[in-house]
């Protein structure tokens, strides 16, 4: 890491992703000179720990970014649209975790292991967009396979943890499980249906084409990140009764045949991916193992008997870390190392 140090703001610091951002900034020893924590009125005055010190939470407002070099946003799309341009006008580069800017053509959408060169486009509007968590975890192992065999088509089915819907959703899963054990009524609020002992094939709003917004995020964002605008993609996103870490079943077809052994080799060499693939000894990725870890874990790798040059993969990753906070901070690390100079104030 550079000897330079930067003034960093975290917008949405008291949310689930914001708190993980603070953990990862400390873990990775990001060169923070001064840290400013920003949130809504109800969180102002709270204190959060960073490197053993209590840092007060301040009000998220347009004037809050004066003197900031890098602003990490995890405050939701409406807040990003309202405050990210003001941060750029104040001199900060924004790394935005929301869906607000991902598909805008003049804003880069980046997974640093896949398309770090696109970060340079931040100069146009001062924003680098962080992809959807499921998109990131899905395409991590697809990149090395594409570089070898040229990707043609992707079919994905996700098994998404409740933490992807926020702290209240996680609490609802726990509360419903406890109620079930006591033979009490289960309250339903965070989801459209009971989540305990159930799976819900519905994440985000349905669109006219029958897909949900979450499903179309994976399609459109994956194409943009990989630089494959015509890639054929279809997916179904499902909420499952898991607290942390998303899982995705991926079927990928290539122009060139890739054997199971070659796929294992390619994925194992790719930064941020680890192969866990020994079915004979019951070794494969699971959310219980992947929660709290940075890498994406890949297993159940096998050649598809039903389609030419196709593979099946099972991918697991912690969507609060690589799927959100870690990816954003990796973008900030590239900005700090290659593009930015600290503010004078």
> Is the confidence at residue 2, as pLDDT, over 60?
no
* pLDDT at residue 1, rounded to an integer: 43
For residue 278, what are the contacts with CB-CB under 8 A and spacing of at least 6? 284
Are residue 147 and residue 176 in the same domain, yes or no? Answer: yes
pLDDT at 192 over 80: yes
- Give the mean pLDDT of the chain: 96
- Regarding whether 223 and 142 lie in a shared domain, the answer is yes
Q: Residue 166: its pLDDT value, please? A: 86
Q: Is residue 345 part of a domain?
A: no
Whether residues 126 and 140 share a domain: the answer is: no
Per cent of the chain over pLDDT 90 is: 96
Please check whether residues 333 and 245 belong to one and the same domain: no
Residue 243 is assigned to a structural domain of this protein: yes
Q: Is the pLDDT of residue 90 over 90?
A: yes
- Identify whether residues 288 and 333 lie together within a single domain: no
Do 124 and 140 belong to one domain?
no
Residues 145 and 13 in one domain: no
Catalytic annotation present for 133: yes
Residue 186, in any domain of the structure:
yes
Are 124 and 33 part of one and the same domain? Answer: yes
Same domain assignment for residues 109 and 183: no
- Give the residue-averaged pLDDT of 63-89: 96
Is residue 134's pLDDT more than 90? Answer: yes
Whether 1 maps to a domain, the answer reads: no
Are 173 and 266 found together in one domain?
Answer: yes
Residues 210 and 163 in one domain: yes
Tell me the residue range of the domain where 127 lies: 6-131+324-339
Report the percentage of the chain scoring pLDDT > 70: 99
Q: What is the pLDDT of residue 22?
A: 97
Question: What number is the average pLDDT over the span 169-181?
Answer: 97
- Selecting among 133, 235, 273, 296, the annotated active-site residue is 133
Residue 342's pLDDT is what? Answer: 84
The CATH number assigned to the domain holding 278 equals 3.30.360.10
Which residues does residue 249 pair with via DSSP β-bridges, in sequence order? Answer: 157, 314
The confidence score (pLDDT) of residue 344 equals 55
CATH number, domain containing residue 38: 3.40.50.720
Mean pLDDT of 166-175: 94
Average pLDDT over residues 283-311: 97
Tell me: pLDDT of 321 over 60.
Answer: yes
Look at the chain and report how many structural domains it folds into. Answer: 2
**Catalytic residue among 146, 235, 246, 290, which?**
246
pLDDT digits (tens, 9 = 90+) for 212-230: 999 999 999 999 999 999 9
Per-residue model confidence as pLDDT tens digits over 18-62: 999 999 999 999 999 999 999 999 999 999 999 999 999 999 999
Q: How confident is the model at residue 256 (pLDDT cuts 50, 70, 90)?
A: very high
If asked whether residues 166 and 96 sit together in one domain, one would say no
């Amino acid at each position: 890491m550079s000897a330079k140090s930067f003034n960093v703001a975290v917008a949405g610091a008291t949310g689930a992703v914001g708190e993980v951002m603070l953990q990862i900034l400390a873990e990775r020893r990001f060169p923070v000179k001064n840290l400013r924590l920003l949130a809504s009125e109800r969180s102002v005055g709270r204190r959060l720990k960073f490197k053993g010190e209590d840092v007060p939470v301040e009000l998220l407002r347009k004037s809050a970014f004066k003197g900031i070099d890098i602003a990490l946003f995890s405050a939701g799309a409406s807040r990003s649209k309202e405050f990210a341009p003001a941060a750029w006008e104040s001199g900060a580069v924004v790394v935005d975790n929301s869906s607000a800017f991902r598909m805008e053509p003049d804003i880069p959408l980046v997974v640093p292991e896949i398309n770090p060169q696109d970060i340079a486009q931040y100069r146009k509007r001062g924003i680098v967009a962080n992809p959807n968590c499921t998109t990131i975890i899905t395409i991590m192992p697809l990149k090395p396979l594409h570089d070898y065999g040229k990707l043609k088509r992707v079919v994905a089915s996700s098994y998404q943890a409740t933490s992807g819907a926020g702290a209240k959703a996680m609490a609802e899963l726990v509360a419903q499980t406890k109620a079930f054990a006591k033979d009490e009524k289960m309250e339903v609020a965070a989801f459209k249906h009971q989540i305990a002992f159930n799976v819900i094939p519905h994440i985000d709003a349905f669109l006219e084409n029958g897909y949900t917004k979450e499903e179309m995020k994976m399609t459109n964002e994956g194409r943009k990140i990989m630089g494959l605008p015509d890639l054929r993609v279809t997916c179904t996103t499902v909420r499952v009764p898991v607290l942390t870490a998303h899982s995705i079943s991926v079927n990928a077809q290539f122009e060139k045949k890739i054997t199971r052994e070659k796929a294992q080799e390619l994925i194992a060499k790719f930064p941020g991916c680890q192969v866990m693939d020994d079915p004979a000894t019951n070794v494969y990725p699971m959310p219980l193992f992947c929660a709290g870890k940075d890498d994406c874990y890949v297993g159940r790798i096998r050649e598809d008997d039903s389609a030419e040059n196709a593979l099946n993969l099972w991918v697991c990753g912690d969507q609060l870390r690589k799927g959100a906070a870690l990816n954003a901070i990796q973008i900030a690390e590239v900005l700090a190392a290659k593009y930015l100079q600290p503010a004078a104030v």
